[in-house]
Amino acid sequence: MKERLLVKLGGSVITDKAGDCTINRSRLEEIAEILASHAQCQIILVHGAGSCGHPEAKRHHLDKGVDQNNISGIFITHQAVRKLNDAVVNALRTNGVEAIGMHPLDACVADEGRIVAFDCEPIRLLVEHGVVPVLHGDVVMDRARGACIASGDQLIRYLARPLGVDRIGLATDVAGVLTNGTVIPRIDEKTAETLSIGESANTDVTGGMKGKISELLALAREGTESEIFHVSCLGDFLAGRNHGGTVVKHTIGDSY
């Protein structure tokens, strides 16, 4: 039976987060080639918004909700993230990967900024038929706020268990979670308390690395570990090799 992997591409990996929807197409091509060479895996792909979505969400204050003064921000932000999603899907398909974009706005409901409903059945069926679903951070409707931003990291936490994922990997623009320039090989609740994790230096309405660790620790408490590594080590993660990054666990065990 094929191993089922949930892979997250950070927004800073596939866009220039300091730009305005500047897509790193050469990086996308490299990633697509790697994913195409691992057809032995069932892959569910999630990507961040990077500079295609975060600036729009910030300008329209969607992290605070919506009213009649900023409701147009739903369309504007969603169009930005769809542009990036189309680029990811097209790169994959050009390299022979049967991929299709899936947009959280279409099927996701949140309440006070947290996802409370998402029909996972279409994703599961696509994967079982050999298709790679490509999801992304998105603006979604929110019962309390009208709308909110559902980050790619929050999507990972919500989707992992119902989809029966075997391993979770987050490809970033750094070698893992760093302290003083050194990779922290593992993080659990205790070690997280001693870390000084900053926010993203660029526009990010979802908390950057700090928000990522919070989501992954919650996932670890539910029994699912995750791994953070530099995007250049994506092939190592897919093959189950040591990537020199960070493992987020519930309890401290033997060295990774």
The CATH number assigned to the domain holding 223 equals 3.40.1160.10
- When divided into structural domains, the chain yields a total of 1
| Alpha carbons 157 and 160: distance in angstroms, whole number | 6
Does residue 253 form part of some domain?
A: no
pLDDT band at 202 (very low <50, low <70, confident <90, very high): very low
Average model confidence (pLDDT) across the chain: 89
Alpha-helical segments (H) within the chain: 11-14, 25-36, 54-59, 72-94, 104-107, 121-128, 152-160, 189-193, 208-221, 234-239
204 contacts 214 by C-beta, under 8 angstroms: no
Task: Answer whether residue 23 is part of any domain.
Answer: yes
Q: How much is the average pLDDT of 11-20?
A: 84
> Which residues form the domain of 87?
3-248
Query: Does some domain include residue 255?
Result: no
For residue range 136-158, list pLDDT tens digits in order: 999 999 999 999 999 999 999 99
User: Tens digits of per-residue pLDDT, 75-91?
Assistant: 999 999 999 999 999 99
Looking at residue 208, its pLDDT comes to 58
Residue 240 inside a domain? The answer is: yes
**Residue 8 domain flag:** yes
Residue 111, domain member (yes or no): yes
- Structural domain contains residue 256: no
Tell me the per-residue pLDDT of 164-193, one tens digit each, with 9 for 90 and over.
999 999 999 999 988 888 899 989 887 777
Q: pTM for this one?
A: 0.88
Any domain includes 217: yes
